[in-house]
Amino acid sequence: MNVLIFGAKGYLGSLFASLYPHALTPSVDIADAASVAQILDQEKPDIVINCAGKTGRPNVDWCETHREETLRSNVTGPLVLLQECGSRGIYWVHIGSGCIYEGEGGSRGYTEEDPPNFTGSFYSRTKLWSDQILREFPVLNLRIRMPFDGSLSGRNLLTKLRGYSRVLDVRNSLTYLPDFLRAASSLMERRITGTFNVVNEGAISPYEVMQLFAEIVDPTHAFERLTLEDLSSVVSAGRSNCILSAGKLKREGIEMQPVRQALTEAMNMMKSLL
């Protein structure tokens, strides 16, 4: 299988690159239609995985003040891929986000059919715009939330939370990346298209995550509880907090392990690296 990954140097892209060690990983601007067309004609991939996007450094607040770059990577780029992969009949996969919802979505969590309801940051709006366009076309759009793994990467949710002195106590869906990669490859092998929430079973607040971290990794780790009301004093753009349903994924026969179990696995791995 000839796999081509855009954004392969990033957090998600490098994980896909280790999953497909023979994948092509060109350094091409996905918003540049001529360059994308050229690489697709040259390499003739069976699958394109789009992990390119602007998430902001050190965080999504960056996107508020870098709107053109964010729009180009998060909206124009996916539209170029839609055109260039679509016209060549190439199956392609996009990494979307669940940060386009706010709230618990009733007792079951938000499903792929629920209209997005979070527009509090420019980053989220760009993810929402591309999500809503892609759903009209035969693309596999994988929505993830607060991704984590057992690595020491600065992009890992656990590493990020470890660096905060105050941590938010609002329940969220989370995505354990080894489970995500298994789910993604299962859907890709079957060339399934459509939008899927790819989150672990259950929900947990970042504060509860750090309580578990103190139990498993570092009992000396100190942090305080941050409420939703306090959050606006430490960030400039709004942050989505939401619970998503992974029921559609389950109906495809793909189970995501319970989130506390996944966190325990990741934290034990992290502990062995520290």
Ligand X SMILES: NC(=O)c1ccc[n+]([C@@H]2O[C@H](COP(=O)([O-])OP(=O)(O)OC[C@H]3O[C@@H](n4cnc5c(N)ncnc54)[C@H](OP(=O)(O)O)[C@@H]3O)[C@@H](O)[C@H]2O)c1
Least separation in angstroms between CB 219 and ligand X: 27
Least separation in angstroms between CB 31 and ligand X: 5
Residue 29 binds to ligand X (criterion: CB under 6 A)? yes
By CB under 6 A, the residues from 63 to 92 that bind ligand X are 72-73, 77
> Which of 236, 210, 213 minimizes the C-alpha distance to 224?
210
Angle at 56 between CA 114 and CA 68, to 5 degrees: 85
Cβ distance to ligand X smaller for residue 162 or 253: 162
> Which of 7, 12, 9, 52 minimizes the C-alpha distance to 148?
12
Tell me which stretch binds ligand X (CB under 6 A): 10-18, 188-196, 225-233, 241-249: 10-18
Least separation in angstroms between CB 26 and ligand X: 9
What track of x and - describes contact with ligand X for positions 125 through 164 (by CB under 6 A)?
A: --x----------------x--x-------x---------
Angle at 65 between CA 94 and CA 26, to 5 degrees: 35
Q: Could you tell me which residues are beta bridge partners of residue 4?
A: 24, 48
> Which of 212, 206, 142 minimizes the C-alpha distance to 177?
142
Select from 3, 4, 5, 10 the one that contacts ligand X (CB under 6 A).
10
Q: How far apart are alpha carbons 204 and 171 in whole angstroms? A: 5
Least separation in angstroms between CB 80 and ligand X: 9
Select from 49, 52, 63, 246 the one that contacts ligand X (CB under 6 A).
52
Beta carbons within 8 Å of 229's beta carbon, 6+ residues apart: none
Cβ distance to ligand X smaller for residue 11 or 164: 11
Q: Which residues bind ligand X (CB under 6 A)?
A: 6-7, 9-13, 29-31, 51-55, 72-73, 77, 95, 97, 127, 144, 147, 155
